[in-house]
Amino acid sequence: MFFFFIIGTRFFTWGSGENVPQQMQCGRCGTVASFPLKKGMNFITLFFIIPVIPISGVKQLAECPNCKARYQIGS
Ligand SMILES: [Zn+2]
C-alpha cells in the first residue's frame, strides 16, 4: 500500500447573516454599500478541502458584495 497526504492551508469563511452596521467603501472597486459580515479561520487542510487543524483565531471580515474583496474588522 502506498499512502500520501497533501497538506496545505486554506482560509475558510462562513456567513453570519449580518451586515456591517455602517456603510463602507471598498478600496478595490469603490463600491459603497453595507457589506455582509463573514467569519473566517485559517486551517491546515488535507487534500486541499478537509480542514484539520485551525491555525488562527476566528476573524471578522467584511466582504465586498461586488468584487468579493475581504477586509478584516476590529483588532
Ligand atoms: Zn469591491
pLDDT in tens, 10-68: 988 988 788 988 899 999 999 999 999 999 999 999 988 888 999 988 999 999 999 99
C-alpha 45 – ligand 1 centre gap (Å): 28
pLDDT at 71 over 60: yes
pLDDT band at 75 (very low <50, low <70, confident <90, very high): low
- pLDDT score of 39: 92
E strands, the chain, in order? 7-19, 24-25, 32-33, 36-46, 50-54, 59-63, 70-72
Strands 50-54 and 32-33: unpaired
Cell numbers for 17 = 447573516
- pLDDT score of 49: 84
C-alpha 13 – ligand 1 centre gap (Å): 17
C-alpha 2 – ligand 1 centre gap (Å): 45
